[in-house]
Structures are given as structure tokens and as C-alpha cells.
Amino acid sequence: MKINGIAYRSVWLDEDQWSVRIFDQTRLPWLVEQIRLTTWQEAAHAIRSMQVRGAPLIGAVAAYGVALAMRTAPEALDAVLEALNETRPTAINLRWALDRQRARLHNLPIEARAAAAYAEAAHIADDDAETCRRIGENGLPLLQEIAAKKGRVNVLTHCNAGWLATVDWGTALAPIYMAHDAGLDIHVWVDETRPRNQGAALTAFELGAHGVKHTVIADNAGGHYMQHGEVDIVIVGTDRVTRTGDVANKIGTYLKALAAHDNGVPFWVALPHSTLDMRVRDGVAEIPIEERSGAEVTEMTGRTADGRIETVRVVAGGSAAANPAFDVTPARLVTGLITERGRCAANEGALLAMYPEKA
Ligand code: MRU
């Protein structure tokens, strides 16, 4: 996708053909800054500190982290895989990408590991870009159908499931980009997504850069707009989908699904194959939910009128703050899943029919 007319992916190999480049997403939308990763520890830090975030992108950067490690310490494969796996707990794409690297490298002679690790990381990145493009194609008819009936489409999305969260295109945003490019009259309600504001800071930035009409709303406003017929469809991304179709996604997604259910608004979830976790049945009971620092709740970062980026406290001292980063939406609240293979219901039978090899 493009920033200022230049096409980028969210992770790519530097001109030197060994170091790895990312955008520092903690600085967006105020500053578009690249970071050059030269060690696996820097890749781990980028994931943990959310310089990169979003389930598929975390997986791709971890895969490149393994490649960086194999250049200098190929004998440390197991330790590196374990350390990278511990950077964030909820998005299953991280483990998926590391399992791919393990399978590819484990039986290779030490001296062959670096080249193979770079090839596998590139494969994972290319696969994600193509997978997301297909998710866009498979989600587009949902939007075309609404536009054919109403003349325009109002989508609501939560968090950032755009190209910054994947390698390219995005998951939830891919059908939106394709609808816009196809000339549909489309408008997106963008949940701000407290506490880290991925909606306000990243989704709005992406949509704006692509020229898609959008309005940032407080997280609590979505239900109101649904009650007043202002939301035709909700599309969100996900960090993990269980065998039974339960969906883990950014905190607050569950409340949007409840409001959508109460108002008869279709609630769709877009995911690549790498987000499926067939080992888990009960999402609420079994998916580990990342607990992040309470400071993300008590403080906010933004740009001052004179251009400085500053963090301010928004809660008086002395109050405790809790910060679960994800929640689980039960399958019964999900209208359907948009995948690279097509659309299906959020249940075990439909998922197994779509992905028989994962049974
Ligand atoms: O904490 P984050 O910013 O990594 O959380 C990201 C999300 O919850 C996204 O919606 C999810 O990863 C889907 S991204 C295609």
C-alpha cells in the first residue's frame, strides 16, 4: 500500500539484503519513521514494544528475527525460537511463523540455516500479502451487495486490521480498499480503540492515505450508530480463531459484536489461515489474553499544537488500572468468517470444510 504515493510493505529486506526494515508504529501517525533491525533481539523488542503489531505482521517479523539470528548463531535455533515466541501471547500467527521456521531449519546442517531462514521468512511475507489480497476479493461481494441495495455502504471496524497489521492489504480493511478502488460509495466508522488508539492512530492514517472516507468515533459510540441505522456491516480482524469459531481480537470487539447482534447488523471477521488455532475449542477459557501495563490506560500520547509528541496522564494518581489487551467474541455472535479461500460460518464444520488439511 502507499504512503505519499510510494508503495510499501510493512516489513521488508533492506538494500543490504540481510537487515530488515519496519515502520515504527509507535510514532505513527505523527512521524513516518523506519527502523532497521539487525539482530533477533531488536526484532523481539520491536514486537514486544509494539513498534510492529497486528497478528500477521508479528508473525512475519518474528520469522525475519529467526533469519537474523541464523546469520550469526545458527546453533542457537531452539533458544531463539523460544525467546521470540514469548514476546506476545495472544496472536497465534507468532507461533505459526516460528513453527514454520522450526520445521524448515531443524534438520538442516548449521551452515545451511541462514539462507533457508531468509527464504522461509520471505515466503511467509509473500504468502501473507497474497492471502490478504484474496481476503479482500472474498469480502468485496458483501460490500457490493449492500451498495447495490442502498447506494452506499457504512462499515464499522475496530482496532487496526489494515496493511500495517499484516504484510500488505490488511484483513478487515482489504475488502474496504477494494470496494473503494472499485468505485463504491464507502464510509468507515473507525473506533478509536483505547487504550493504544490503533483505530485513531493507524486505521485512520491508512484510510486517509488511500483516500477512503472515514470518521473516527469514541469506542462507546458504535452501539448508538447501529441503533440509528448508520452501520450496515461490522468487519474486524482477529488474533486467533478457535476450531469452533470463537474470535480473539482487540479489547472491545466483544462489546461491538453484542451491539451488532442486538441491532441485526452483520458482524464479519476477516482472517488468514495463519490465525486459525485448531487446538483450541473454547476461546474464552483457553486463549491467553495479554495483560499490558496500566500506564497505557492512565496515560495518553499525542501531538501538541506546536508539534511536540508528548505523553500526558489522564487519570488522577492513586487509582489502580487494569489493561487486558484482547477479548473473545463467542462464535454465536459472528455472522461469518472471510478467509483467503472464501467465506464460511464460524463453526467447526464450516472451518473443517474450508481447511480440511488442518483437521
Ligand atoms: O495489540 P495489537 O495492535 O497487535 O492488536 C491487533 C489487533 O487486535 C488486530 O485487530 C488483529 O491483530 C487483527 S490484524 C490483521
Burial call 182-212: b when 16+ CB within 10 Å, e when fewer: eebebbbbbbbbbbbbbbbbbbbbbbebbeb
Grid coordinates representing 191 are 473506533
Strand-pair partners of 328: 248
Contact 172, 206 (CB under 8 A): no
Residue 2 has pLDDT above 90, yes or no: no
- Long-range contacts of the stretch 24-30 (C-beta < 8 A, 24+): 24/51, 25/50, 25/51, 25/52, 25/53, 25/164, 25/202, 26/50, 26/51, 27/309, 28/164, 28/201, 28/202, 28/205, 29/201, 29/202, 29/204, 29/205, 30/303, 30/309
| Catalytic-role residue among 191, 239, 277, 327 | 239
CA dist., res. 210 & res. 60, Å (int): 23
What grid cell was written down for 93? 500467527
Query: Each residue of 57-89: pLDDT tens digit?
Result: 999 999 999 999 999 999 999 999 999 999 999
Alpha-carbon gap, residue 15 to 74, rounded angstroms = 23
- Proportion of the chain above pLDDT 70, given as a percent: 100
Instruction: List, edge to edge, every strand of the sheet that includes 240-242.
Output: 276-277, 240-242, 247-250, 326-329
Tell me: pLDDT of 3 over 90.
Answer: no
| Residue with CA at minimum distance from ligand 1 atom 8 | 250
- pLDDT at site 1: 83
Q: What is the pLDDT of residue 166?
A: 98
Instruction: Give 125 Cα–ligand 1 centroid separation in angstroms.
Output: 17
Could you say which DSSP state residue 90 is in?
Answer: S
Q: For residue 5, what pLDDT is reported?
A: 85
pLDDT of residue 217: 98
The answer to whether residues 248 and 283 touch, using CB atoms and an 8 Å cutoff, is yes
Pocket of ligand 1 (CB under 6 A): 53-56, 91, 159, 161, 165-166, 171, 198, 237-239, 249-250, 325
What pLDDT digit, counting tens, does each position of 321-337 carry?
999 999 999 999 999 99
**Atom number in ligand 1 closest to CA 325:** 1
Q: What is the pLDDT of residues 155-189, one digit of tens each?
A: 999 999 999 999 999 999 999 999 999 999 999 99
Is the per-residue pLDDT at 198 higher than 90? yes
Domains of the chain: 2-127 (1.20.120.420), 141-358 (3.40.50.10470)
4 has pLDDT over 90 = no
Spacing, Cα 112 to ligand 1 middle (Å): 34
Which residues, in sequence order, are CB contacts of 234 under 8 Å at separation 6+?
Answer: 155, 156, 157, 158, 222, 256, 257, 260, 265, 266, 267, 268
Rg, Å, the chain Cα set: 20
